Amino acid sequence: MRNRAFCAALLLAIFPVLDAPYRVAAPGYRYEFPRDFFAHPEFQTEWWYTTGNVKTADGRAFGFELTFFREAVNRDASKQGAWDLRDIYLAHLALSDLDGGHFYHSERVNRSGPGIAGVDSAGGKVWNGNWSAVWKKDGSQELTARSGDFEFDFTLKSEKMPVVHGENGVSQKADGAGRASHYFSQTRLATNGTISVQGKQFRISGLSWMDHEFFTHQLSADQTGWDWFSIQLEDKTELMLFILRRQDGSIDPHSAGTYVDAAGKATHLRANEFSLTPTSASWKSVQTGATYPIAWNVVVPKLMITLSATTRLPQQELAATSKFAPGYWEGAMQFSGKHCSADILGVGYLEMTGYDHPLRWTK
Which residues contact another protein (rule: CB under 8 A)?
A: 2-3, 5-7, 9-10, 13-14, 17, 73-74, 76, 79, 81-85, 88, 108-111, 113-117, 127, 129-130, 132, 144, 146-148, 151
Under 8 Å between Cβ of 294 and 282: yes
Q: Least CB distance from residue 107 to another protein, whole Å?
A: 9
- β-bridge pairing 275-278 and 266-270: unpaired
CA distance 132 to 142: 8
Instruction: Return the beta strands (E) in 176-324 as ranges.
Output: 180-197, 200-215, 223-233, 238-246, 256-260, 266-270, 275-278, 282-284, 291-293, 296-300, 305-310, 317-318
Q: Least CB distance from residue 193 to another protein, whole Å?
A: 14
DSSP 25-41: --TT----TTGGGS--T
Instruction: Select 13 or 26, whichever has its Cβ closest to another protein.
Output: 13
Q: What's the number of CA atoms in the CB half-sphere (13 Å) around residue 322?
A: 12
Tell me which amino acid residue 11 is: L
Instruction: Select 130 or 277, whichever has its Cβ closest to another protein.
Output: 130
Under 8 Å between Cβ of 115 and 35: no
CA distance 149 to 264: 37
Q: Least CB distance from residue 14 to another protein, whole Å?
A: 5
Q: Least CB distance from residue 142 to another protein, whole Å?
A: 12
Q: Least CB distance from residue 216 to another protein, whole Å?
A: 15
Instruction: Select 2 or 246, whichever has its Cβ closest to another protein.
Output: 2
Q: Least CB distance from residue 52 to another protein, whole Å?
A: 21
- 125, 31, 229, 68 alpha-carbon torsion, rounded to 10°: 20
Q: Least CB distance from residue 168 to another protein, whole Å?
A: 32
Q: Which of 154, 162, 114, 152 is nearest to 134 (CA)?
A: 154
